Chains A and B, each alone.
Chain A
Amino acid sequence: MYHYRIKKHGKVASLQVETAGEVPLENALLPAVNGAVIGVALNDKTLYNSLEKQFNQKPHVSPPKTPVLHIKTDNTHIGYGDTIRIPTTMGAVFAGPSLGIVMGKKACRVTQENAHDYIQGYTIVNEVSLAETSFYRPAVKAKCRDTFCPIGPWVIDASDVDNAQDLKISTYINDELCHETNTDQMVHSIEKIVAYISSFITLEVGDMIIAGTPLRTESLEIKAGDVVAVEIEKIGRLVNSVAAE
């Protein structure tokens, strides 16, 4: 099943269809979820390894002991086909392709073994960010700007994805393939993340976890006028245009 959200006659409608082809992608959709969005930072092996030296220096002093979390506030959430608005005076802006884990049941203190029972399904996230020079302080300025979190086009049921821990993620800028990764590159698995977060944060139905974004190299830089697409195998393709703020 594909679950998507649109605005119809000024009202929000949540709809579900059997096939992706039935979703009206000619119009902009709403973000595929409407709950809280929590991101897991440094959850990519290449990114993590590239920072290992820094982790042992000031101000970090030692590597993270637990998954590193951040919040994508609701002003950042946009849907498929909507426009990412980027500032022109804050340096480079990067796309952040990631799997989105969508909660289907209220999850409070769940175990890794049971974590999958609480997941409704998966979506695609473009966790847009300014460059991060340090991971020491919360990244509000870099990550919480309006429109900096496209989510969609839909949520696909977990039962329709055999192994969410092995999905190819491809990012295209202006139809050119510029980045490839895979959900097998996560440092902390899907089950571990859900269990860890739910150990102190009750996740509600519709809340979403951004599983992890890759090292943001030049290949992921987005500029005004670009069209950026994040494609995840078995899930779909999230397309957004980019314009100056």
Chain B
Amino acid sequence: MKRAKILLNEETLNVTVNDAGQVVTEQGAVLEEGTFTWLPPCEGKAFVLAINYADHAAELSFNAPEEPLVFLKSSNTLIGHDQKTYQPDNIDYMHYECELVVVIGKEAKNVSLEDAMDYVGGYTVGNDYAIRDYLENYYRPNLRVKSRDTCTPIGPYIIDAADVPDPHNLMIRTYINGELKQEGSTKDLIFNVPYLVSYLSNIMTLTPGDMIFTGTPEGLAHVYPGDEVIVEVEGVGALKNTIISETEYVNSLAG
């Protein structure tokens, strides 16, 4: 089952997505693409793993960490599928990060490694944009880099955990304007899904809807206003969005 959230006539609806990729309401109506707005499919705490692929660690000239390097995102940054992400003016390096996102399915506290997968409700796809110009060595990666309005597309939907038999063997790909830019596999995760669920649940209580962005492999590149960016996780989904300029964004706020 694939579950999503959409905005239709100013109302938030819980919907499903059928095998043909169409959105179906609880009443069974099939909606035309373009008649509604995709929302983030989950609400909760958003954890993100930095440097969780060995190749990406090398790319950033870091040694692989000894324990998960986790940061948090605030909810303002999340947007749904097929939305716009704005690029601030006067920056040199803004890159996408395609990530498998684990969605917690039931309350988890002090969960063992053996039981951890029982607490995974499903998976979705995240694009964890970063603006490297703003990096500072305080609580790095700092919120100005990673928690910006519109900078974390997630979705389009959550696919049930039962429909993803092996989350540790999924290809991860990013396309800019149709061109393949980033490719990796979740088999190269340094800390895998059960490890992360167990690790976090030993710090704090996880609740349904909490998200764990599991990190990104190598293959980062700068994006430009006008670019269409698709991040894809095999067997989970493909998440599209478009980069716009700050001026365009400010104009859209003015309404």
Contacts and interface: CB of A to CB of B under 8 A. Distances in A.
Contacts, number: 96
Interface stretch (A8-16, A60-68, A113-121): A60-68
A109 to B, nearest CB: 8
Contacts of B250: 109
Interface in A57-84: 59-62, 64-66, 68-71, 73-76
Contact of A69 (B70, B75, B142, B253): B142
Q: For the complex, would chain B's binding face be called helix, strand, loop or mixed by DSSP majority? A: loop
Q: Which 7 A-B pairs have the closest CB atoms?
A: A138-B71, A71-B72, A68-B138, A69-B143, A200-B148, A60-B137, A138-B139
A42 interface: yes
Interface stretch (A92-100, A140-148, A153-161, A229-237): A140-148
Nearest to A76: B204
Nearest to A70: B139
A202 B149 contact: yes
24 contacts: A38-B74, A60-B138, A61-B137, A68-B136, A69-B142, A69-B143, A70-B143, A71-B72, A71-B74, A71-B147, A73-B45, A73-B72, A108-B149, A109-B250, A135-B138, A136-B140, A137-B69, A138-B72, A138-B140, A140-B47, A145-B204, A200-B149, A201-B77, A202-B76
Contact of B137 (A59, A146, A200): A59
Contacts of A64: 136, 138
Contact of A66 (B47, B69, B144, B205): B144
B245 to A, nearest CB: 15
A36 interface: yes
Query: For the side of the interface on B, what is the size category?
Result: 20 to 34
Contacts of A243: none
B204 A41 contact: no
B62 to A, nearest CB: 11
B174 to A, nearest CB: 23
B149 A201 contact: yes
A139 interface: yes
B67 to A, nearest CB: 9
A64 B142 CA distance: 11
Interface of A: 36, 38, 41-42, 59-62, 64-66, 68-71, 73-76, 108-109, 135-141, 144-146, 200-204
Contact of A75 (B45, B75, B137, B142): B45
B204 A144 contact: yes
B207 interface: yes
A156 to B, nearest CB: 25
B129 to A, nearest CB: 12
Given A71-B74, A75-B45, A139 B137 contact: no
Given A61-B137, A68-B142, A145 B203 contact: yes
Contacts of B138: 41-42, 60, 64, 68, 135-136
B76 A36 contact: yes
Interface of A: prevailing SS: loop
B70 A146 contact: no
A37 to B, nearest CB: 9
A163 B131 CA distance: 37
Contacts of A202: 76, 149
Interface string B142-160: 1110011100000000000
B149 A140 contact: no
Contacts of B74: 36, 38, 71, 201
Interface in B44-75: 45, 47, 69-75
A138 B250 CA distance: 30
A138 B149 contact: no
Contact of A201 (B71, B76, B88, B203): B76
B109 to A, nearest CB: 8
Contacts of A65: 136
B148 A41 contact: no
B148 A140 contact: no
Contacts of B203: 140-141, 144-145
B80 to A, nearest CB: 16
B75 A36 contact: yes
